[in-house]
Chain A
Amino acid sequence: MESIAERQQEVIEEFSLFEDWMQRYEHMIDLGKSLPLIAEEHKTDDNIIKGCQSKVWVHASLEGDQLIFTADSDAIITKGIIAILIRVFSNQHPKAILEADTNFIDEIGLKEHLSPTRANGLVSMIKQIKMYAVAFQTQLN
């Protein structure tokens, strides 16, 4: 199985092909459409990530020793961002998620193109994913 670092490298290479913001955004919008959607019953206030202007729900569950993420958002660009994060972090061991570096966000030019409010949302999403990893890591021990 691919490591988080390998997946990040893949995303970086994928985004490096785009020449302008419009292509990058169109790709993010496409990714948003392919997001593994959260089940309706998990779309609860507890699963909402604070710090985003749009609503973002993230749910995590354990399958064996792997953490599986599903998510949704009412804004499509936000959905694209969370889809990238899930692609990198889902189906990984909580320990690997905890230890993962998240600098790839800068390298795909997302942070530079995201306004501070959205960037904060991005930070909150990563924080939430890591929180889930902490919780499930404890469960595995």
Chain B
Amino acid sequence: MFDVTKIRADFPILSRKVNGQDLVYFDNAATSQTPLQVIDVITDYYCRLNANIHRGVHKLSQEATDAYEGARKTIQTHFNAAHSHEIILTAGTTESINLIASGYSSLLQNGDELLVSALEHHSNIVPWQMLCERTGAKLKVIPMTQEGTLDMSAYESLLNSKTRLVFVNHVSNALGTVNPIEEIITKAHAVDAKVLIDGAQACPHIKPDVQELDVDYYVTSAHKICGPTGVGMLYGKETLLNKLPPYQGGGEMISTVTFEKTTYADLPHKFEAGTPNIAGGIAFGAALDYMNNIGFETIASYEEELLAYATNKLREIPGLKIFGEAAKKTAVISFNIDGIHPYDIGSILDQLGIAVRTGHHCAQPIMDYYQIPGTVRASFAFYNTKEEIDRLDAGIRKAIEMLQ
């Protein structure tokens, strides 16, 4: 039985005051909060295990290595990857994307085509633009619709024998749209293109099965899923990752080094140069354990309830327009009030102890499409409540009263 009061007790930050009021944290799409179960793992690591991994003969190093590799296995199981060495631990989604973009520098040629969706975060646009500059490949855009979904027939007509890679987010960070990635992957594979899915916004709400999806690359960050910042993962099919050259050179990623010739380590170490974020990796595993203990179905159904409650409530506010009204979306409401800058709304809400995001959400092409400077984005997590949504509703009404 899902008991939100009990869940909230796991998150110390939720009981703090902001500007003299109880914090209402609705910026979960930017970063999620961290439960004691994860904080304790980080503390325990530094109190009991701290050592460098994969090379020490001593006990601490062995225990730290076991914990780190155990986390990799937890991540593998969570995403149902075929092998644990298909899970590359990175600094986060952005680094994972850059790793792949860097790898393809030597695999693409002039005239190759890459497809990117119009709903992407800048981190799934800019690395590909840079890759195109290096290789002469062409970046084409899968257009979006007024509801904030992808134009799938346009996608089909963009695919052709020159298409090498397709980049789409599983869920849009600015609008919450859940994209039909199964269909996107199947159609891309039909022309022999590979697909990278940015799962940063999906993983807090959905448990993806990379084998069932048959996805080539899937990337995400721990800090959106109750884990710490500065750690994330790249899943890639073994055969594809083996064909990619290493990303960074350094320790850990080598097999033998001489000044004449260096050979590289096998997966996953080939892509993990230097001492990694050991505590972060272990905590990433703990965060997934925490979420799985609650259960993703439970999380999704509770968040759906919050989203429906908030959507109905906010729609009643005069002049409020919601952006992104896909049939399938996660618990995100992106909105504007007629005649008021999103920034002004966000500033007043902040004074009332309510944390939302305002601006373009690192997705300027979406804002350009709607011809708006940005939106106010309230994003919910399973530890939020209907009472908090009532405070948001009252806060927006107060802000309108002050600003109009």
Question: From DSSP, what is the main secondary structure of chain A's interface residues?
Answer: helix
Give Cα distance in the complex from A105 to B340, angstroms. 25
A53 near B402 with CB under 8 A, answer no
B341 pairs with A76, CB closer than 8 A: yes
- Whether B74 is near chain A, meaning CB under 8 Å from some CB there, is no
Q: Is A104 an interface residue (CB 8 A)?
A: no
**Bound-state Cα–Cα, A22 to B344, Å:** 13
Q: Are B351 and A113 in contact (CB under 8 A)?
A: yes
> In the bound complex, do residue A54 and residue B403 qualify as a contact, i.e. CB atoms below 8 Å apart?
no
Question: Is the Cβ of B344 less than 8 Å from the Cβ of A76?
Answer: yes
* Interface-centre pick from B340, B347, B350, B358 (highest chain A CB count, 10 A): B347
Would B351 and A21 count as touching, CB distance under 8 A? yes
With most chain B CB atoms within 10 A of its CB, the pick from A26, A54, A55 is: A54
CB distance A115 to B350 under 8 Å? yes
- In whole angstroms, what is the CA distance A28 to B402 when docked? 11
Within the assembled complex, what's the spacing in Å between the Cα atoms of A77 and B345?
10
Partner of B358, one of A22, A53, A55, A113: A53
B19 contacts chain A at the CB level, 8 A cutoff? yes
Interface membership of B264, Cβ < 8 A: no
A75 near B350 with CB under 8 A, answer no
- Give the size range of B's interface with the partner: 10 to 19
Please report the C-alpha to C-alpha distance between residue A115 and residue B356 in the assembled complex, in whole angstroms.
12
CB contacts (< 8 Å) of A115 on chain B: these are: 347, 350
Asked whether A54 and B402 contact (CB < 8 A) given A25-B351, A115-B347, the answer is no
- For B347, list chain A residues within 8 Å (CB): 25, 77, 115, 118
B373 interfacial contact with A, CB 8 Å? yes
- The answer to whether B374 has its CB under 8 Å from any CB of chain A is yes
Pairwise interchain contact B374-A53, C-beta atoms closer than 8 A: yes
The 8 A CB mask of B259-290 against A (1 = contact, 0 = none) is 00000000000000000000000000000000
**Minimum CB–CB distance for A75 against chain B, Å:** 4
B interface footprint on A70-113 (CB within 8 Å = 1, 0 otherwise)? 00001111100000000000000000000000000000000001
0 or 1 for each of A42-56: is its CB under 8 Å from B? (1 = yes) = 000000000001110
* Beta-carbon contacts under 8 Å, A109-128 to B: 113, 115, 118
CB of A54 within 8 A of CB of B341, answer yes
Among B19, B341, B348, B402, find the residue whose CB has the most chain A CB atoms closer than 10 A: B341
- Quick one: given A53-B359, A115-B350, are A75 and B343 in contact (CB under 8 Å)? yes
Task: Tell whether A26 pairs with B402 under 8 Å between CB atoms, given A21-B19, A77-B344, A78-B343.
Answer: yes
Q: From B351, which residue of chain A is reached at the shortest CB distance? A: A21
User: What chain B residues lie within 8 Å of A21 (beta carbons)?
Assistant: 19, 351
- CB closest chain-A residue, reference B373: A74
Q: How far is the CB of B337 from chain A (nearest CB, A)?
A: 12
Residues of chain B within 8 A (CB-CB) of A74 are 341, 373
State which residues 337-366 of B face A: CB under 8 Å: 340-341, 343-344, 347-348, 350-351, 358-359
Partner of A55, one of B340, B373, B402, B403: B373
The interface residues of chain A lying within 8 Å CB-to-CB of B374 are 53
CA distance in complex: A118, B358 (Å): 12
B339 to chain A, nearest CB (A): 10
Cβ of A60 < 8 Å from any Cβ of B? no
Q: How far is the CA of A45 from the CA of B351 in the complex (A)?
A: 31
Identify which of A26, A77, A113 contacts B343 (C-beta below 8 A).
A77
Residue A29 is within 8 A (CB to CB) of chain B in the complex: yes
Chain A residues positioned under 8 Å from B358 (CB to CB): 53
In the complex formed, the residue of B with least CB distance to A80 is B344
B364-404: which residues lie under 8 A (CB-CB) from chain A?
373-374, 402-403
Which residues of A lie under 8 Å from residue B340 when comparing CB positions? 76
- How many Å lie between the Cα of A87 and that of B347 in the bound state? 23
With known contacts A54-B343, A74-B341, A118-B347, A22–B373 Cβ distance under 8 A: no
CB-nearest residue of chain B relative to A24?
A: B351
- A38 to B335 CA separation, bound complex (whole angstroms): 29
Within 8 Å by CB of A76, from B19, B350, B403, lies: B403
Q: Which residues of B contact A (CB under 8 A)?
A: 19, 340-341, 343-344, 347-348, 350-351, 358-359, 373-374, 402-403
What are 9 A-B residue pairs whose CB atoms fall within 8 Å in the complex? A25-B347, A25-B402, A29-B403, A75-B341, A76-B340, A77-B344, A77-B347, A78-B344, A113-B351
7 nearest A-B residue pairs (beta carbon): A75-B341, A75-B343, A54-B343, A21-B351, A75-B344, A53-B343, A77-B344
Given A53-B374, A118-B343; 17 other pairs, CB 8 A cutoff = A21-B19, A25-B347, A25-B351, A25-B402, A53-B343, A54-B373, A55-B373, A74-B341, A75-B343, A75-B344, A77-B343, A77-B344, A78-B341, A78-B343, A78-B344, A113-B351, A115-B350
